[in-house]
Amino acid sequence: MSKSSNPFVSASSDYVLDVSGQLNILPRPDTQDNSGVRFYRNDKYVGLTAPTTITTSTTFKLPESDGQSNEILTTDGKGNLSWTTVTRGDKGEPGAGDKGEKGETGSSGTGTKGENGNFGGLSFPYEMNTNTNIPTAPLLVGKIRFDRTSQKDAENIYISKLDIDSNNLTTFLSSHKGHIRIAHRVTSDRNILYEIINISNDVHGNFILNVRNIAATSKQFSDQDEIFLTFTRTGDKGDSGDKGEPGEKGADSTVKGDKGESGKDGDKGENSVVPGPQGDKGSKGEIGPQGPAVEGGGVLPYEPYSIHNANSLTSMY
């Protein structure tokens, strides 16, 4: 290849360089630098240079048209370039490098605290009073106490008429039935669920809830803990349904039942002191036999009865 002894150093006045045939870019004659080309934009450029060592001359032939989005320019190993879609290769084997040291703990987050979650039902804010004595006066506004030191085993719960927000529970509890859940307003490690057996008022106007424990956490409430009283209510008895139509008459049975056992003899009646009615008159007796004949055709002479003793009479016939 012939080389020009006078390298090109300028272009025409309109800054356009036209080259007919092949453009050869050679290194400076007095250096061994790689030749290259630079494309400038202001004072920055993008350049291409020849490799430091070249063992075989290679000419790359560009594709005939632009490729599609995200395609890359690839060679077939013979200098022919084409646009190719990138495909993801198989997953490589896990690296066998040493485990790195644990990083430093990050700073605490600054997210906004969420709202308190409540048991389904109507809830009222109160404050715990761990005194287990029966109230001798109206409880302070928003106060609640149990009748047992073991709160889950309480049988009676005393509640002030007004909650912390001064809501009056009188109308609500006058006809309530169902369950009550007592839960800490901030943490989830303290809550008790009771069945409400009866609701009444003491002479001081405090509510008395007679309850039975259903479930409880192991941790108890502390004095002045902020809590929620949440009531779930069972429905009222519905109206009676309409009377059903009369059923059809059953078929007559042809099987006669077994005879029942004879009853026991009744008690013997008492003797009556009233005489019975007089019997009917008897029938007339038959005619007696004829007497013996008397000689001469007469009759036996009449003889009066003789007295043999003072107690009997004997016929003298």
Decide if 206 contacts 227 (C-beta within 8 A): no
pLDDT digits (tens, 9 = 90+) for 63-105: 888 888 888 989 998 889 898 988 777 787 777 777 788 888 8
Q: Cα separation of 229 and 185, whole Å?
A: 10
> Is residue 277's pLDDT more than 80?
no
Cβ-based neighbour number of residue 161 at 10 Å: 18
Q: What is the pLDDT of residue 294?
A: 56
Q: In which band, very low, low, confident or very high, does the pLDDT at 13 lie, cut at 50, 70 and 90?
A: low
Decide if 131 contacts 145 (C-beta within 8 A): yes
pLDDT digits (tens, 9 = 90+) for 282-308: 777 777 777 666 555 555 554 554 444
Q: What is the pLDDT of residue 307?
A: 46
Would the pTM of this model clear 0.95, i.e. be above it?
no
| 25 residue type, one letter | I
Region 152-168 average pLDDT? 93
Q: What is the pLDDT of residue 300?
A: 52
Q: What is the pLDDT of residue 218?
A: 92
pLDDT digits (tens, 9 = 90+) for 183-230: 999 988 999 999 999 999 999 989 999 999 999 999 999 999 999 999
DSSP designation for 290 = P
DSSP designation for 162 = B
Listing DSSP states for 148-174 in one string gives: SSSGGG-SEEEE-SB-TT--B-HHHHT
- The ranges assigned to domains in the chain are 122-233
Region 129-133 average pLDDT? 94
Region 19-30 average pLDDT? 77
Radius of gyration of the chain (CA): 65
Second CATH level (architecture) for the domain 122-233: Beta Barrel (2.40)
Q: Cα separation of 38 and 49, whole Å?
A: 9
User: To the nearest whole number, what is the mean pLDDT of the chain?
Assistant: 79
Question: Checking DSSP bridges between strand 226-233 and strand 122-128, what pairing results, if any?
Answer: antiparallel
Q: In which band, very low, low, confident or very high, does the pLDDT at 314 lie, cut at 50, 70 and 90?
A: very low
